[in-house]
Amino acid sequence: MPTADPGREPGSGPAPGASLGTWEPAPLTEVVRLFSGLPCPWWIGGGYAIELAVGHAFRPHGDIDVLLLRRDQLAAQRVLAGWEWWAADPPGTLRPWAAGEVLPVGVHDIWCRPGPGAPWRIQVMLDESHGEEWTSRRDPRVRRPVRELGVTSAEGVPYLAPEVQLYYKAKAPRPKDEEDFATMLPLLTDDRRDWLAGAISLAYGANDPHPWLARLRQADSR
């Protein structure tokens, strides 16, 4: 079984390019074309979600993420029929995801490529829900209605709401996450800043304040 970079954040999935083959992320237009026919909700995630919220490109991307609710996971196999699907099970490793197999809670990261030896093209992320409410896999106290989980761009592309994506990035920010936060912060509405501050405090601890909290408060006071 391929093994990912041991320095990777636990639970965040394998590190792109870490002795598992190369990444050549599919263009956003291709991903949208592949997933646009799904009858279930889906959202562009990761850095591309922030880019869509900002309205223009501002940094390179090593991969491209699509978020599905866990209950809809097999939709990924349908839209990527004929591809290889590899699940991070346990986190930090990859193993083939069998056709029709329902991945359990705890497995939320799937790498996809057109065939053996081909570069990885799309990363599918799974998240939790209860009825019509999304719940964070990091902390089930962080939740919101599924209908409010994403935003749709002017071009009709669904993407993860920027405050939700930044909440995930806030756990252990890397340089690219810091860049995403700094670029998005001036554009967040009051409601989105308040939600993000509350989610960070709840999930990552208010007793040891997260460095983003002070910046969110400063932006709120302007």
What total of structural domains would you count in the chain?
Answer: 1
**Tokens representing residue 94 in the block:** 């990859």
DSSP string over 30-43: HHHHHHTT-SS-EE
The HSE-up count of residue 215 (CA atoms within 13 Å, CB side) is 14
Q: What is the pLDDT of residue 221?
A: 61
Whether 203 is covered by a domain: the verdict is: no
**Tokens representing residue 207 in the block:** 């007793």
**Tokens representing residue 24 in the block:** 């050549």
Whether 179 is covered by a domain: the verdict is: no
Tell me the pTM: 0.89
**Tokens representing residue 77 in the block:** 């196999």
Nearest to 191 by CA among 222, 220, 167: 220
Whether 197 is covered by a domain: the verdict is: no
Nearest to 119 by CA among 74, 152, 86, 153: 86
**Tokens representing residue 181 in the block:** 């936060």
Nearest to 150 by CA among 141, 140, 163, 138: 163
Tell whether omega for the bond before 90 is within 30 degrees of 0, i.e. cis: yes
Whether 181 is covered by a domain: the verdict is: no
Q: What is the pLDDT of residue 7?
A: 31
The CA distances from residue 30 to 33, 51, 157, 189, in Å, are 5, 17, 12, 30
Please state the separation of Cα 197 from the chain's center in Å.
Answer: 19
Q: What is the pLDDT of residue 207?
A: 67
Whether 8 is covered by a domain: the verdict is: no
Whether 215 is covered by a domain: the verdict is: no
User: pLDDT per residue over 139-195, tens digit each?
Assistant: 999 999 999 999 999 999 999 999 999 999 999 999 999 999 999 999 999 999 999
Full pLDDT tens readout for the chain, 222 residues: 554 432 333 334 555 444 688 999 999 999 999 999 999 999 999 999 999 999 999 999 999 999 999 999 999 999 999 999 999 998 789 999 999 999 999 999 999 999 998 999 999 999 999 999 999 999 999 999 999 999 999 999 999 999 999 999 999 999 999 999 999 999 999 999 999 999 999 999 766 889 999 999 888 666
Nearest to 115 by CA among 140, 128, 96: 96
Q: What is the pLDDT of residue 43?
A: 98
Whether 60 is covered by a domain: the verdict is: yes
At 81, which CATH number?
3.30.460.40
Whether 69 is covered by a domain: the verdict is: yes
Give the residue numbers spanning the domain of 112. 28-161
